[in-house]
Structure 1
């Protein structure tokens, strides 16, 4: 309760100095513009002219001058005064009578009371009437509430509402009347006659008070020292207020509620219902909000409660670290005289100050939320972390300062736990900031990179490699080297296009001079070399990588783009000459040229095949059968997909090495199929491979070629020169081949080839298959013949349709498109007899003259 929301300013210091009767006391007041009306206990009405001046910074001073003094001759206190400036009238309640006076000369209109027997009355501050020169009032009589419209000349009766008890206080908003009866509060709707009872109270030692707050909402004094908010439906949308002292009167000036007691003025916030200020004031009689000004009276004087500017209140709250209250006050402050942009700028500054307070208290999540919503300059945050601002930055902290933090080390007294949390906060804050904005990129990126390095964040390398950073490279390089983030250091050198320094750092990591577990090894280094456009770096580090791993190191050549293969510095011959001392690398490079790049050069294909063969023989000697099988698979693939190697050279080497399967492939390349099949059948005993050889070789070839190759395989099986035991061995695969591939044989030729001692039952399955295939081919031929005859008949009919009409072309005829005559006898005719030059007939199916589409006709005569 340390907010100074209001200050006392004297308006009328001593009433008795201005009146004749020393016993005169102030009962009520009303203010309209610069005119203050004072009602007294001796039935007097005094008019003062007020002059308001500002002295110094925000200080307000009032000067008052008595203008008129009117005795009402009713010998009773003036209980209530209400001004209607649009009507130039004052409404006064005195001695249970309602009087209407002229505002300026204080003369009674009509010479006497307008209404009698009145206990209280009030103005409707939100009337449902459209006449600007009319006000609405509600008056309370014994057991009745009455609604009147008041004009300059008369009172117009609107509504009577019966009540069970006399009303001692009323407030009106729109069509709703909130009445304080003798023992209860009730809400009435005088348009719909709806009644809503609120709550009851005892009559002794309790003063019912009603104050309108907002549209259809009222604040009521309640037993047990409470203030209850109720709306027109009888519901409460806010928590109650707990008054500190017995209540005498109420006033509302957003966002504060002012409660007057005998000894003090209580100031509560409507936002959190908490007391914010207590102003000692003995002998208080009334308090009210008059056109935005708060006036409070004692029996002898009138004071103004001048609100302390909300900006100063917020400053006090922030200085006391009451952040939530400060923000709430700023959000709900009266922004008179301030544009939306001005307020937004000021509110952002308040949010930033509040964020630094949260930060100082170690509440980093709250701080980040306010930093973001307050659009803080991120350099303000970075600057409190020693060493994170780049030396090249020209940033200077805000003046006046947003905080009093020298740096985080001083703030947290070197507490490593808090400092670690603060760095994590900065890490997330800067990451979120980069996603949303690119302002102050130099400072933000530099700081974020340093934070990544300091907290050993896994995002560091990806952050640099993204190539979208704008940092102080020299400063960051020093920081990374100091933090022993060598891989990140090399990446930053590469980002700055200083490839020489980057490669040197990586080379030191590989050689063990530097240690960095985040480095991805030799493969990464090789990939970086391969991606460089300058070949001098590649040659400089070629021995370095190849001496460590030939198969990985050769990637400096194989991973480069295809466009660079034939560059002067990287011609395949040049590279191969260099790689001769690295045999594994040679193989990998040749595989790249032959298989991936598909370079059509015989020497590369032959060289690769010979290297495969040499490796096979070497591994065979070592007894490494697994490696032999892997190499033979590669060799066979090369022999099958390529046709550029020197077959005869390789064939001799294959035979010498007893590589029968590879030799069969080579025989097939030179169309010596019998030798190939002989190897597969006799040497390898791989009958399925022999069959697949025939299938693969004849793919895409004609039927005769297929018949000849399958007959060759059958002849190998049935070779009469074979020993009897061999012939018996090959009988089963021969029959399986005949039965499975009957359609690939010429049945007549097969019957000539099979031994004469074979019975029909032996070849029955083959004969059935051959007959079925032959019959299918015959039927398909008949179908094709019938289709051809049908197509021919359609074409002939279409031709007849075109030729049955004669066309006469005269010298006077001209093209309907270009309007020129036909000179060479060639022309185009559309089905509707429109004639054009052939060159002018752009669309064969659309008449250029009428636009008619003849596609439907064309579909009827497809041969046309």
Structure 2
């Protein structure tokens, strides 16, 4: 994997005088400025046109500085803050101007220095700290370096001579001849890390991050150590003979003489090797890593992280790509990270998809917010309605051709179809599904139709959907799914087409039998429709087929609280439909409790007309006719919003004797009503019931009069003697004994009316005793009130002149007062207010 791109930056040109022994010893970089230290004590200053640009770079030499006749430049460090270039040569540190390479007179050389390190001052902002190690003296000296001066502020003694040095703040990481250690010169604490074998390995101690160092540990392990002695990353196993190491997150570079090995800090795996001749050191900057060789300087420019991740995704190393992406999230733009993350997740989902790990694939597709059309487009014959859609999913090596699978391995293809159904249904209500609702619904439609999952198909098209009508209508007609076609029209707002489609089904029921009542569905649809012209268009068709079901169109409107028709409009529509008219009037009167006398009269007239026609035509069975008569009688009894005389005229010549009696009673003609029941209806029980029902809520005298009238009617004919006796015996409490004795014939024996007389006398005695008891209770209550009054007025009470009357709130004017049982005071004579009391 390519994570760094090598570019030749500088090549030392041979002088042409025999064998050129000059070689590059060290390098310092700041921006486009490069400082090269040679083996002959020469400091060269060059610039390059760009540190992150093209493969070919133009190099310009700016200046040179010969430090002495011989001796290699050991180390170069630029201090841009001060415009200083610090040079380690001949065991001393010299300060030069960064741009002119002239020595700074005010800064004298620091002697006896083996190696040094520059770090920012932990406390001051106008200086840096120079940490100089002396192998000869076995000490580390800390210098405060300013523009025109430097001074030693601290010295740290070492147990052995130092061979490598790095620092972070006040923490020094020092490698001696046999071990690595950390020393904080401010807190004076030292941590022994681990030993090394200097004879068998190169000693490396470099700073590699905030508070972190990279060390060449035992066993050729690249050890990451924090300044507190802990480690945040596992060690990297690199090859033997590593001469230098540098970190450019998230990679660590290990340099051998001929090769640069590049490892990932995240998984410690080797990612890339770069071959270079005679390489000796690495210099890491924020933008890149420079490799110093004897005659050349190469720059390793990192491949953009986005490109690295995309390359990993293309190679299906999705776990590796996701790990890298999560760790470098802060180094990427927010939008770029989001897009990359989605791409990695979705590619991982595709790999799981083709492995038939459908549960995991679905979760990844949802998490990665995959465009559902990417999945739809994989299936044969599945429509992608969006014309502007182009698949963007990264191709994976384990991809299967679902077209071929559908022909050669139908069971496996069925599993893929079930996944499509599950995935689309889950994303359909989400924001992910709102990207392409028409494509999702059309794909589900096609899937359910082809798989004959008609229940799911009906659920889809009967709810709100975005199916493509141009595609779906021909498919449904081809499969003869006309009821579903109506549901589709209905969900798309084409109610007239929907109902017309269902009407055709009902009319051709024999040709297309269904397991559901399409006719009832039409009725339900019309009752919930909010479009009067469509209702008017189909209501006659419904009523002609079934008036009982058809009237639900109007009655259910009230239940759903969207009333499209006023009652008078409905009555006009129902003029030619007698049964429907009766049912609707019943709904108005019984359910809506209409107070319109017209509605009550129309319902009664409709009942009468239906009953009379059924009697004459004999087209209704006896049970239906009796049920209708029962309804008529109940309405006649209960309603008071009709004209009884008008209705009576309609049934005068009919056999509806009970109804005649009720109407006569409504007009106050009770005797005539009883005569109709006795002589025409010939129903003694009905006559007695009429008396009871008419007397309901009236006083006892009226009840006695009603029953006495019925008794007199019975006594008028010798054929009704038994009926008269039964009436007396069964309703003794409803008669006045004296009045009955006056009308009874003298020829009747005592035995005939003995039961009546006994019941009547018992009732009379009971009433007398009850009245006596009530009178006694009233007397007791009166005596109790008198006693309470006397107790309250037993003594007189003197009050001041300022006392106020409790009743009228006026000042008292009389001396006589009473104490109420409640304890309140009032007086007998008060002349306050208008009338006094």
TM-score (norm 2): 0.69
Q: Are residues 1:139 and 2:123 paired?
A: no
The change in CA–CA distance for 1:224 and 1:683 in structure 2 (over 3 A counts) is farther
User: Would the aligned equivalents of 1:379 and 1:395 in 2 still touch at CA under 8 Å?
Assistant: no
TM-superposed CA distance for 1:538, in Å, is 5.6
Is 2:33–2:48's contact at 8 Å kept on the other side of the alignment? no
Counterpart of 1:320 in structure 2 is: 315
Q: Which residue of 2 aligns with 1:269?
A: 264
Residue 431 (structure 1) shift: 0.8
Distance 1:512 1:353, change over 3 A: farther
Question: Would you say the 8 A contact 1:43–1:94 is kept in 2?
Answer: no
Q: Quick check: 2:32–2:50 contact (8 Å CA) kept in 1? A: no
Tell me the matched-pair count: 731
Q: Following the alignment from structure 2 to structure 1, what is the Cα–Cα distance between the partners of residues 246 and 778? A: 110
Q: Which of residues 392, 416, 436 in structure 1 aligns to 2:413?
A: 416
Judge conservation of contact 2:539–2:550 (CA < 8 Å) in 1.
Answer: no
Is 1:490 the equivalent of 2:490?
Answer: no
Structure 2 unaligned segments of length 5 or more: list them: 678-683, 712-722, 736-758, 786-804, 812-837
Alpha-carbon distance in 2 for matches of 1:591, 1:31: 101
Partner of 2:388: 395
* Cα distance between partner residues in 2 of 1:284 and 1:444: 60
Q: Aligned ranges for residues 535-546 of structure 1 at < 5 Å? A: 542=540
- State the Cα deviation string for residues 604-636 of structure 1 (Å, max 9, x = none): 3204655897999999x9898xx9999898667
Distance 1:540 1:616, change over 3 A: closer
Mapping of 1:164-563 within 5 angstroms?
167-180=162-175, 185-193=180-188, 198=193, 205-243=200-238, 247-281=242-276, 283-326=278-321, 329=324, 382-389=376-383, 393-395=386-388, 397=390, 409-410=402-403, 415-417=412-414, 419-421=416-418, 423-424=420-421, 427-428=424-425, 431-433=428-430, 435=431, 443=439, 446-447=442-443, 449-451=445-447, 453=449, 456=453, 460-461=457-458, 463-467=460-464, 469-482=465-478, 485-507=481-503, 509-510=505-506, 511=509, 513-514=511-512, 521-530=518-527, 531=529, 533=531, 542=540, 547=545, 551-559=548-556, 562-563=563-564
Go from structure 1 to structure 2 and tell me whether the alpha carbon gap of 1:586 and 1:373 turns closer, same or farther (over 3 Å shift). same
Partner of 1:642: 639
Query: Which one of the candidate residues 2, 5, 10 is aligned to 1:4?
Result: 2
Q: Give the CA deviation at 1:490.
A: 1.3
Residue 55 of structure 2 is aligned to residue 59 of structure 1: yes
The CA deviation string for residues 776-801 of structure 1, in whole angstroms up to 9 with x for no partner, is 99999xxxxxxxxx99947x99xxxx
Query: Following the alignment from structure 2 to structure 1, what is the Cα–Cα distance between the partners of residues 685 and 208?
Result: 108
Residues 615 and 307 (structure 1 numbering): CA distance in 2 closer, same or farther, change over 3 Å?
A: farther
Contact 1:50 1:64 in 2 (8 A): yes
Structure with higher Rg: it is 2
- Alpha carbons of structure 1 residues 196 and 671: separation in structure 2 relative to 1, 3 Å: farther
Distance in 2 between the 1:282 and 1:115 partners?
35
Deviation at residue 304 of structure 1 after TM alignment: 1.6
Instruction: Show the counterpart of 1:32.
Output: 30
Following superposition, the deviation at residue 238 of structure 1 comes to: 3.6
Q: Tell me, what secondary structure is at the counterpart of 1:474? A: helix
Cα distance in 2 for residues equivalent to 1:591 and 1:709: 33
Does 2:699 correspond to 1:709?
yes
Contact map agreement 2:421 2:444 (CA 8 A) in 1: no
Equivalent position SS for 2:699: helix
User: Is 2:595 aligned against 1:594?
Assistant: no
How has the CA–CA distance of structure 1 residues 273 and 574 changed in structure 2, closer, same or farther, with 3 Å as cutoff?
same
Aligned-partner Cα distance in 1 for 2:109–2:314? 56
Assess, with a 3 A threshold, how the Cα gap between structure 1 residues 207 and 432 changes in structure 2: closer, same or farther: farther
> Residues 526 and 87 from structure 1, CA distance in 2 versus in 1: closer, same or farther, beyond 3 angstroms?
same
1:564 is aligned to 2:568: no
C-alpha change, 1:313 and 1:559, in structure 2 (3 Å) is same
1:757–1:302 distance in 2 versus 1, CA, 3 Å: closer
CA RMSD of aligned residues (A): 5.6
Shift of the alpha carbon at 1:31? 1.8
Alignment of 1:833-844 (within 5 A): none
Q: For 1:177 and 1:632, locate their aligned partners in 2 and report how far apart those are by CA, in whole Å.
A: 113
> What pairs up with 1:596-635 in 2 under 5 angstroms?
596=591, 598=594, 600-607=598-605, 609-610=607-608
The separation in 1 between residues aligned to 2:629 and 2:177, in whole angstroms, is 111
In structure 1, the partner of 2:756 is: none
1:572-612 deviation digits (Å, cap 9, x = unpaired): 254242x34xx5x5553332343345364244320465589
C-alpha distance in 2, partners of 1:690/1:174?
115
**How much has 1:47 moved relative to structure 2?**
0.8
Check the 8 A contact 2:674/2:687 in 1, yes or no.
no
Contact map agreement 1:169 1:181 (CA 8 A) in 2: yes
Q: Matches of 1:733 and 1:243 in 2, distance apart?
A: 120
The Cα of 1:295 is off from its aligned counterpart by 0.9
CA distance in 2, matches of 1:635, 1:588: 13
| 1:113-152 paired onto structure 2 within 5 Å | 114-124=109-119, 127-129=121-123, 131=125, 134-141=127-134, 144-152=139-147
**Alpha-carbon deviations, 1:358-392, whole Å to 9, x = none?**
6666666777677677776665555444554466x
State the alpha-carbon separation in 1 of the partners of residues 212 and 505 from structure 2: 75
Per mean C-alpha deviation after superposition, the further-off stretch among 201-210 and 144-153 is 201-210
Q: Deviations over 1:516-552 (max 9, x none)?
A: 76x67433221223427355776657556764x6533
Helix, strand or coil for the counterpart of 2:428? helix
Q: Distance in 2 between matches of 1:791 and 1:384?
A: 97
Alpha-carbon shift at residue 473 of structure 1 (Å): 2.0
Instruction: Give the Cα–Cα distance (whole angstroms) in 1 for the partners of residues 51 and 190 of structure 2.
Output: 48
Give the CA deviation at 1:350: 7.6
- Between the aligned partners of 1:512 and 1:191, the Cα distance in structure 2 is 101
Question: 1:46 corresponds to which residue?
Answer: 43
Structure 1 CA distance, aligned partners of 2:477 and 2:393? 34
- Aligned partners of 2:429, 2:640: CA distance in 1, in Å? 59
2:86 aligned to which of 69, 83, 91: 91
Summarize deviations over 1:746-803 as a string: whole Å, max 9, x none: xxxxxxxx967668777656765687799999999xxxxxxxxx99947x99xxxxxx
State the match for 2:831 in structure 1.
Answer: none
Name the SS of the counterpart of 2:43 in structure 1: strand
Q: CA deviation at 1:450?
A: 4.0
Distance 1:153 1:112 in 2: 6
Look up the match of 2:64: 68
Deviation at 1:272, TM superposition (A): 3.8
In structure 2, the partner of 1:821 is none
Is there any run of 5+ residues in structure 1 with no aligned partner, and where? Answer: 699-707, 735-753, 781-789, 798-864
SS in 2 for 1:152: coil
**Aligned residues of 2:589 and 2:600 also touching (Cα < 8 A):** no
Deviation digits for residues 389-415 of structure 1, max 9, x if unmatched? 466x542527x9965999963486755
Q: Is the 8 A contact 2:554 2:570 kept in 1?
A: no
Asked if the contact 1:128/1:175 (under 8 Å) is kept, the reply is: yes
